[in-house]
Structure 1
């Protein structure tokens, strides 16, 4: 999972309130239920020592935001001056969480939000296609041809030539859609292309797409001319497959690196902390079910992390915070990725932590 979208949190000195709550709005009393859920989480923040300024910032954000449609979650990170992160999620959390401290509690944030998969969606038929770009813009595209798009129902003299003209119109329409799709894939850095329509229309489009678009194409069977706006479940499922493939590949890469002698993988809290302090972490691997509940010392910069005071050499102010939040914050500052291990993964993580390194650290160096 990329961490660029949380990196800006390092620009604030904190302290931070981190909230993950159920924002579902699908019943008559949904607004009242939302208010009650927030009140419970707010009380947890008060008990943890959150100041009135931060609570007021969150009160305003929670009460004034438009309600989502249907099931949803919401993630908020705030400091005493403003809301620094505000995301709605497609899936509400199993239970809400709220924390207060010198570092945002980013593990539940990552688990709730998930990795974004920029997606282009196309509904294709014989007349052209309706395309939704990564930014949500929808447009209808065809070749502008006035040629026929329907074949004759019965064969007769000269029908073969007429059918050929129809097929040529279909081809030109597919070419026009493919040209526009290729541009939108490039412009939006799309990582997924979902195509709906009857099988022959999808096949024509696939044949006309550039290789870069064809490689990320996922097809939806037997949908006719279904509009992109009605494909949300399919798009979500396809994006989940992309996320899971990436996650599995990243965990497998860690496992492979762990089995080699180059020193490009470490596990355990102490070794991961040392690699973080050296800014050597390329991918931080976390098993949420077994991470330590210990705290780490934190210096002036995100990479200034340590278990012992003597390991912090920057001379700045020192505080302490939960280990996982500290390590995720440092990973984001160093442009490292974060991967959450799952129960079925064939990987060993001491203290629930591991890292793939950019270069060896410690004795292996």
Structure 2
């Protein structure tokens, strides 16, 4: 997950109100329920020590969602009476919640707002293709291409003239497949799509796939149900989930291999809070791996005003010259450091790797 969008949260001092709202339920009572949720969250923040202006800002922002048709939810981060960032979620949170802490509570975003593969669904036939852009927030038309319209169907005759006609049919199919592949490649480049899902007859899909640039062929997925009406949301979600799982497993494989030191005794991956804190202070983290429910994720560390002022013990910060220190969750503190050093982060579900739930792939020296 690219963490650059979180920069505004670390350009201002804390403490912060962090709010997660489920907007996946839509009934006649939803506006009233959201108003009640807004009041409850404001009271909860106040009980945790939040200032009145920030409580009002959070309450107002949640109330503004009472008519929202967003399919999953919204995160809200506020301080000093202002909502600074309010990203939409691509998965609904398990429950509405509001927290007040020295750092914004951003680690849940790795699961709830990250890894949202963009798909282009191509409905292919012999005459052309229609493209549809899909992500967790919905779908939209992405254009298409119309190829040669005639001739496109074979005949059963075997005389010379009909064989000549069938050759022209073959040429038309090949021309149209090339046109579709070219248009699909342009669409992928413009949308930065992670997946290309092909819907249609086996022959048409194969013809298009073979004509795509080699760099895109690993992105292609064949629709499980072949031809027909618009591809079901469940099929798209399955393809997206499998893509995320493959990426996570590939990064975990890199992590497992990187834990073994090389001939010079240097490891390309570390795990555990002390090692991660040291790597973060030295700006060596390239990608954080976080299991949100891991025991190390909520372990307490100490932070200063700057992102690289991070330590396992409070006394360590004083040694580093920081006079002010606050306790923070390890996952949120490490994400702050990752944002400051342009590192990325990935949510993983493997129960044993990294040990404790926190690890990192390191930058090459």
**Structure 1 pair 18–160 and aligned structure 2 pair: CA distance change class (3 A):** same
- Higher mean alpha-carbon deviation, 41-50 vs 81-90, is at 81-90
TM-score with structure 2 setting the length: 0.86
Q: Contact conserved, 1:304 with 1:314, CA < 8 A, in 2? A: no
Alignment of 1:266-277 (within 5 A): 266-277=270-281
Pair 1:188 & 2:191 matched: yes
Shift of 1:137: 4.7
**Structure 1 pair 280–215 and aligned structure 2 pair: CA distance change class (3 A):** same
Q: Which of 284, 300, 305 is residue 300 of structure 1 equivalent to?
A: 305
**Alignment length (residue pairs):** 353
Gaps of 5+ in 2: none
Pair 1:336 & 2:343 matched: yes
**Structure 1 pair 164–73 and aligned structure 2 pair: CA distance change class (3 A):** same
**Structure 1 pair 36–289 and aligned structure 2 pair: CA distance change class (3 A):** farther
Q: Contact conserved, 1:206 with 1:214, CA < 8 A, in 2? A: yes
**Structure 1 pair 167–38 and aligned structure 2 pair: CA distance change class (3 A):** farther
Alignment of 1:325-364 (within 5 A): 325-345=332-352, 347-349=353-355, 351-358=356-363
- Higher mean alpha-carbon deviation, 127-136 vs 173-182, is at 127-136
- Higher mean alpha-carbon deviation, 80-89 vs 269-278, is at 80-89
TM-score with structure 1 setting the length: 0.86
3-state SS of 2:204 partner: helix
Q: Contact conserved, 1:24 with 1:92, CA < 8 A, in 2? A: yes
Alignment of 1:1-365 (within 5 A): 1-65=1-65, 66-68=67-69, 71-133=71-133, 136-143=140-147, 145-152=148-155, 154-155=156-157, 157=159, 158-224=161-227, 226-227=229-230, 230-260=231-261, 261-287=265-291, 288-291=293-296, 293-306=298-311, 307-312=313-318, 313=320, 315=322, 317-345=324-352, 347-349=353-355, 351-358=356-363
**Structure 1 pair 43–223 and aligned structure 2 pair: CA distance change class (3 A):** farther
3-state SS of 2:58 partner: helix
What is the CA–CA distance in structure 2 between the aligned matches of 1:180 and 1:56, rounded to whole Å?
Answer: 50
Shift of 1:140: 2.6
3-state SS of 2:120 partner: strand
Shift of 1:258: 1.6
CA RMSD after TM alignment: 2.6
3-state SS of 1:35 partner: helix
What is the CA–CA distance in structure 1 between the aligned matches of 2:323 and 2:129, rounded to whole Å?
Answer: 59
What is the CA–CA distance in structure 1 between the aligned matches of 2:164 and 2:193, rounded to whole Å?
Answer: 40
Q: Contact conserved, 2:23 with 2:72, CA < 8 A, in 1? A: yes
**Structure 1 pair 167–270 and aligned structure 2 pair: CA distance change class (3 A):** same
Deviations 1:35-68 (A, max 9, x none): 3334333332221122222223223322234522
What is the CA–CA distance in structure 2 between the aligned matches of 1:235 and 1:292, rounded to whole Å?
Answer: 31
Shift of 1:105: 0.9
3-state SS of 1:339 partner: strand
**Structure 1 pair 289–297 and aligned structure 2 pair: CA distance change class (3 A):** closer
What is the CA–CA distance in structure 2 between the aligned matches of 1:19 and 1:117, rounded to whole Å?
Answer: 24
Q: Contact conserved, 1:75 with 1:112, CA < 8 A, in 2? A: no
- Higher mean alpha-carbon deviation, 215-224 vs 256-265, is at 256-265
3-state SS of 1:45 partner: helix
Q: Contact conserved, 1:21 with 1:38, CA < 8 A, in 2? A: no
3-state SS of 1:110 partner: helix
Deviations 1:171-203 (A, max 9, x none): 222211111111122233332111111211111
Shift of 1:246: 1.5
Gaps of 5+ in 1: 361-365
